[in-house]
A and B are shown apart, each in its own frame.
Chain A
Amino acid sequence: MAVVVEMPKLTDTMEEGVVVRWTKKVGEKVEPGDVLAEIETDKATMEYEAVDRGVLLKTLVTEGSGVAPGTPIAIIGAAGEDVSAMPIGGSSAPGAPAAVVRVVVTPPAAITPGRVAASPIARRMAGEAGLAIANVTGTGPGGRVIKRDIERHAPAPLLQAATATSSEDIVEPLSQMRKAIARRMAEAKPGVPHFYLRREIDAEPLYVLRQQVNLDYAGAKVSYNDFVVRAVALALRSVPAMNATFGGDRIVRYGRVDVGVAVALPEGLVTPVVRAADGKALLALARETRELAERARAKKLRPEEMQGSTFTVSNLGMFGIDDFAAIINPPEAGILAVGAVTQKAVVRNDVVVPGRTLTLTLSCDHRAVDGAIGAAFLAAVADLLEHPTRLVI
């Protein structure tokens, strides 16, 4: 008996999944655990494994098409089994006479390794922009590089010269990730009453210690953000009221400290989660964060690695931002926005001297926490960062 394979719900927020590529061809044998297709969700591209044994009789969704979870996408059954009566919601054609010409179109085969599939205009635009097409991630069917992929990579002036439509607006379709960001942020900003607390800290000790750590541990590459994440994790333990979520008729204080770290990608951002961050030593935390960020940039994160953080840290210091206010990542009660460590004149012992500062901005959900709690948490973070040996010993 043939079974209908449905689009899985791979994440809690998934409203649509795109079949990027069928890794099994129609007619091919399928064993449980075999990868059937690559599916792009709002978070990542994932391999979808079959749970049934049989032959892939039919695919119901073309590569590059998106459908809602629960929608039939394929039929697996015995070889030669008649699946015309399967409940797949398709329209039935009227009985056709035998003489009608039948055009048999085989599903697109996987692209030959080493060959980059690209639409003609994408190829031309890449050439004009001096971009190697092999370096561009394709988002079309089967990974085909299409116009929008080039537009994302190439500097705008080059493209505008290439397309000779410089005065026209460029309309870029939303990626699944951008859709998810837009939905969640729009949900957070009017839905969550934000308030903001800002604090400038003395970053001189942090600057010195980080240099020392990176000298003493060759290849450790500990970033300022690693110190901040560690400080946040410890501060969430000492001010547990901040490690919470507003739940309508109750407030949940989390028992775990799982810190989300925002990672910028060309098409948006994701927040991989450092689990039990309060129990991890600085070097381990740094290594794990770097590894998560690398996989995030390769779009290889599993959805569960991006879910369930209890607090988030967002850092724009590497982009030269002094300070900014972030939008809360619901359902968390807070997010810490981290600016750049900058050299400037500071007053120390009543004398103006050269120093280094770092500005932290805490956004809080006022339904879950009040100003005093936020201030206490921010003070705890600041205290740790201003005495950073506490973060390493």
Chain B
Amino acid sequence: MSTRRSPMAEPTTATVTFREAIRQAMSEEMERDDRVFLMGEEVGQYQGAYKVSEGMLERFGERRVVDTPIAEGGFAGLCLGAAMVGLRPICEFMTWNFSLVAFDTLINNAAKLRYMSGGQFTLPVVFRGPGGAAHMLGAQHSHALDGVYAHFPGLLVVVPSTPRDAKGLLKTAIRDDNPVVFIESEMMYGAKGDVPQSGELIPLGVADIKRPGTDCTIVAWGRMVGISLEAARTLEGEGISIEIVDPRTLRPFDAEAVLASVRKTNRCVVVHEGWDVASFGAWVADLVHREAFDYIDAPVERVCNADVPMPYAANLEKAAQPDAERVVAAVKRVCYK
């Protein structure tokens, strides 16, 4: 067992990686409720493409940890159908890029069936896997689709930024009766953090202040929280105090937490993966402009991907994505520094 327990920490807390936190959430929920099962490519025999489900086949058996063919359109639909008739599937996409093969299932079926059946069906299914750019995976395998899925009413969208949030939110997502899009990051699977071992549930739709501050609010989720924290440390040295609001879930969205922060700081920068045009970050900026209009001292800035398909070359791939330096520059602009 690779789980390491810090001697200083409380006995109910362990320092674990992001991937272990997700595995703990799935395993605990599968222990708790035998309707929960995991299905996806390489989740069983191969122990998970990114080793998230390592050991789970041995522990829960082939009936509940199910390897699939490379056919997202099929197994995503199968999971949805299983949810309609009472099971609680966890559908793993090797990456969210491949969910596009199952886009019709997610958008036309998962997002609509509760509504169109007048509530006759519950759809307790979680679609999960890594999203966003990783390292030199090329334009087709680097999509950040959080904003795309958040576009559609009927789906809940969760984008955790820490191992603790990942575990607590995934457990809640598995118990929720709505279809949940749960987007992780390959770049963060090895990141470690303290995670309660007490079965903590984190509610969907409640933001977390990742760093309190007074001069400028940064709204960031998922992998962008770490980048924003790095920028905040740089800015602290220059006398600019940053408050980082991590919504944790895009749907439902904790608008009040964002607005309360902006009303305090009067300035806002939204940092997100994905592109500028028609993005979730654009909606957040719009929300702030409308609902905190009398409190803002500068137009909301956004830091996001360059408006190009993700380049393959490492230097260009880096240049096309938000980094701490660009976040620092955007914060200075809204602070008129």
Residues of A at the B interface (CB closer than 8 Å) are: 62, 64-65, 91, 93-94, 96-97, 100-101, 103, 119-124, 139-141, 146-148, 165, 168, 171, 173
A146 to B276, CA, bound (A): 26
Judge whether A91 and B297 touch: CB under 8 Å: no
**Other-chain residue from B241, B297, B320 in contact with A121 (beta carbon distance below 8 A):** B297
**Is there a chain A Cβ closer than 8 Å to B10's Cβ?**
no
Beyond the given A62-B333, A146-B297, please list 8 additional residue pairs across the A-B interface where CB-CB is below 8 A: A64-B336, A97-B309, A121-B297, A139-B336, A140-B298, A141-B336, A165-B264, A171-B215
Q: How far does the alpha carbon of A94 sit from the alpha carbon of B295 in the complex, in Å?
A: 38
User: Known contacts A121-B295, A146-B298: does B308 contact A173 (CB below 8 Å)?
Assistant: no
**Nearest 9 pairs between A and B by C-beta?**
A147-B297, A119-B297, A124-B294, A121-B297, A120-B294, A120-B293, A94-B311, A94-B316, A96-B308
- Is B298 touching A100 in the complex (CB atoms < 8 A)? no
Q: Chain B residues near A165: list those with CB within 8 A.
A: 264
Q: Which of A101, A119, A122, A141 has the most CB of B within 10 A?
A: A119
Tell whether B209 is near chain A: CB-to-CB under 8 Å: no
With A119-B297, A122-B297, A124-B294: A148-B336 Cβ-Cβ less than 8 Å: yes
Closest to B320 in A: A94
B330 → chain A closest CB, angstroms: 12
What's the minimum C-beta distance from B138 to chain A, rounded to whole angstroms? 13
Q: Choose one: A100, A121, A122, A140; the contact of B308 (CB below 8 Å).
A: A100
What are 13 A-B pairs at a CB distance below 8 A?
A64-B336, A93-B308, A94-B313, A101-B277, A103-B307, A120-B294, A121-B294, A121-B295, A121-B297, A140-B336, A147-B297, A171-B214, A173-B337
Report the contact-size class of chain B (Cβ under 8 Å from the partner).
20 to 34
Contact check, A94 vs B336: say whether CB atoms are below 8 A apart.
no
- In the complex, the answer to whether B336 meets A173 with C-beta atoms within 8 Å is yes
Rounded to whole Å, the gap between the CB of B139 and the closest CB of chain A is 10
Decide yes or no whether B148 CB sits under 8 A from chain A. no
Closest chain B residue to A18 by CB distance? B336
Q: Are B266 and A168 in contact (CB under 8 A)?
A: no
* Contacts A101-B277, A173-B335; A96 near B307 (Cβ below 8 A): yes
Residues in chain A near residue B307, CB distance under 8 A: 96, 100-101, 103
Contact A91 B241 (CB under 8 A): no
Complex Cα spacing A123 to B214, Å: 20
Please report the C-alpha to C-alpha distance between residue A125 and residue B336 in the assembled complex, in whole angstroms.
18
Q: What are the residues of chain B within 8 A of A119 when measuring CB–CB? A: 296-298
Contact check, A171 vs B295: say whether CB atoms are below 8 A apart: no
Query: B241, A147: Cβ atoms under 8 Å?
Result: no
B336 touches A146 (CB 8 A): yes
Complex Cα distance, B309 from A93, in Å, reads 11
